[in-house]
Amino acid sequence: MIHYQMDGKVALVTGASGGIGRSAAQAFAGSGASVVVSDVQEEKGEETVKLITDEGGKAAFQLCDVSDEASVQALVDRAVSEYGRLDFAVNNAGINDIAKDEYELDVWQRSLDVNLTGVMLCMKAEAEAMLASGGGAIVNTSSINGLIGNPMQPAYNAGKHGVIGLTRHGALKWAKDGIRVNCVCPGFIETPMTDIITKSAKLTNSMKLITPMDRIGKPEEIASAMVWLCSDAASFVTGHPMVIDGGATAM
Ligand code: NAP
């Protein structure tokens, strides 16, 4: 993992109790940023904090349901009260239960509440805090499901397309205010969300078949892109949906 110069900077990461979000929180801390680790899973979130502080990094946990506006505002307020400012935000919390029928209205609604409305609520509160300290960078987590069709999951598919739209919106809205907004579009990554697939050799092989690099991605391979997008190395990059998928969408 490449480390950037982020001493004195403050990052928040949603959905950081495991998977991609935990790796992102660790990567920001490894570059010197203080990190607010956030999730609906408190115990595992505190584990992420411990992993960071055991390595000498600075982190604090804040319980947050991204679909709840007051909870999101409390998260951003915590970053400012704990560390004085907010520079970077990774809106990564998401749900994707392939066992559920997303044509059922309550399932459809919950998916969009978390995967799309959650990103909008986070961007709104984060941008306000960033404006107060002169700018910042936001990275949203979309998916290759934001770029191509998925015949099984209408809500996840539509929500992740929506995240790319929101990213482009935010990039334009805050372009002159010093806030850059980008997103990542991961392919198939080994995380708790994909446990159900990685536990089956047959399903894992079918995922490899649609991935030219013939392997499943690692959370840190997404985290490193998130940190790069927030770093000064990406100072002219905004509105970009960065694909990290082992070549899956190149086919
Ligand atoms: P993960 O380990 O399940 O992480 C997602 C975290 O978000 C979980 O801890 C989850 O808690 C939490 N969460 C769910 N609802 C929330 C809410 N309302 N508010 C706050 N946190 C909430 O999965 P991951 O694979 O790292 O996923 C991270 C992001 O990457 C998601 O947006 C996902 O859609 C996206 N993504 C993943 C892949 C992949 O192959 N893994 C590919 C493309 C995109 P619960 O466990 O309680 O739900």
Q: Where are the domains of the chain?
A: 10-191+218-244
pLDDT at residue 196 in the model: 87
pLDDT at residue 111 in the model: 98
Query: What are the tens digits of pLDDT across the range 21-46?
Result: 999 999 999 999 999 999 999 999 99
Q: State the closest ligand 1 atom to the C-alpha of 145, by its place in the atom list counted from 1.
A: 43
How many angstroms does the Cα of residue 92 sit away from the middle of ligand 1? Answer: 7
Residue nearest to atom 12 of ligand 1 (CA): 15
pLDDT at residue 29 in the model: 98
pLDDT at residue 229 in the model: 98
Using CB distances shorter than 6 Å, the residues near ligand 1 are 14-15, 17-21, 39-41, 64-67, 92-96, 114, 118, 141, 143, 186, 188-189, 191-194
Q: Which one of the listed residues 4, 83, 103, 156 is annotated catalytic? A: 156
Please calculate the CA angle 102-66-243 and round it to the nearest 5 degrees: 70
pLDDT at residue 2 in the model: 81
CB 234 within 8 Å of CB 228: yes
Q: State both tokens at 221.
A: 């391979």
Assign 25 to helix, strand or coil.
helix
pLDDT at residue 160 in the model: 99
Q: Give the chain's residues under pLDDT 50.
A: none
Q: Which of 36, 34, 131 is nearest to 92 (CA)?
A: 36
Q: What is the assigned CATH class of domain 10-191+218-244?
A: alpha beta
pLDDT at residue 1 in the model: 80
Residue nearest to atom 19 of ligand 1 (CA): 65
Query: What are the tens digits of pLDDT across the range 219-249?
Result: 999 999 999 999 999 999 999 999 999 999 9
pLDDT at residue 163 in the model: 99
> Is residue 83 annotated as a catalytic residue, yes or no?
no
Q: State the closest ligand 1 atom to the C-alpha of 113, by its place in the atom list counted from 1.
A: 18
Residues composing the chain: 251
pLDDT at residue 217 in the model: 97
Measured between alpha carbons, how far is 31 from 24 in angstroms, rounded to an integer?
11
CB 82 within 8 Å of CB 59: no
